[in-house]
Amino acid sequence: MATHSAPDSSEPPQPAERGDPPPALPPESELEARSAAMHDDPRFHELRSRLLRFVVPASIAFFAWYVLYVLMSAYARGVMSTQVVGSVNIALIFGLLQFVTTFGIAILYSRYTNRRYDPLADELRDELEGQPAVPGARKGDDE
């Protein structure tokens, strides 16, 4: 059984005790340290707020639209069963509009992120990975 004792004063001092710089971190630890530091970067906070500016209102709007559809289907059956054309009623139109809304939000999200989110995200990622940032260039663009 091993016992722990106080360090022997005859042992050579450790690098931190001699005033030497700390040993270099391995690449994984260095990336983790840069990632942790990135969370304090104001550009990272701006990136998160840009994402939330779209996601939160779009999610609330879609959820409200969906809840309206469900509530009307449950409590306004007379309105929902109103025939519009042939056997097509308002409930069917509302249901199909759910799909249209889903694809519309996906398209708007894609356009929004391409304009407002991706350029800053690419810049921060390149900085984090240690690559020089090229303004206006996106990963995968070959010239």
Top pLDDT among 31 and 128 is at 128
Note the pLDDT tens digit of each residue in 83-121.
999 999 999 999 999 999 999 999 999 999 999 999 999
Structure tokens at 86: 């042939």
Q: Are 127 and 133 contacting, i.e. CB atoms less than 8 angstroms apart?
A: yes
User: In whole angstroms, what is the distance from residue 6 CA to residue 8 CA?
Assistant: 6
Q: Hey, what amino acid is at 51?
A: L
Tell me whether residue 126 is exposed, middle or buried, using C-beta atoms within 10 angstroms of its C-beta: 0 to 12, 13 to 18, 19 or more: middle
Note the pLDDT tens digit of each residue in 18-72.
566 555 555 677 777 777 878 888 888 999 999 999 999 999 999 999 999 999 9
Question: Residue 11 carries which DSSP code?
Answer: S
Amino acid 38: pLDDT: 80
DSSP per position, 70-108: HHHHHH-HHHHT-EEETTEEHHHHHHHHHHHHHHHHHHH
Q: Write phi, then psi, for 122 (nearest 5 degrees).
A: -65, -40
Structure tokens at 85: 């054309």
Amino acid 29: pLDDT: 77
**Sign, Cα dihedral of 56, 62, 63, 68:** positive
Q: H helices within 1-143, ranges in order?
A: 15-18, 27-38, 42-75, 77-80, 90-112, 118-129
Query: Taking the model in full, what pTM does it have?
Result: 0.64
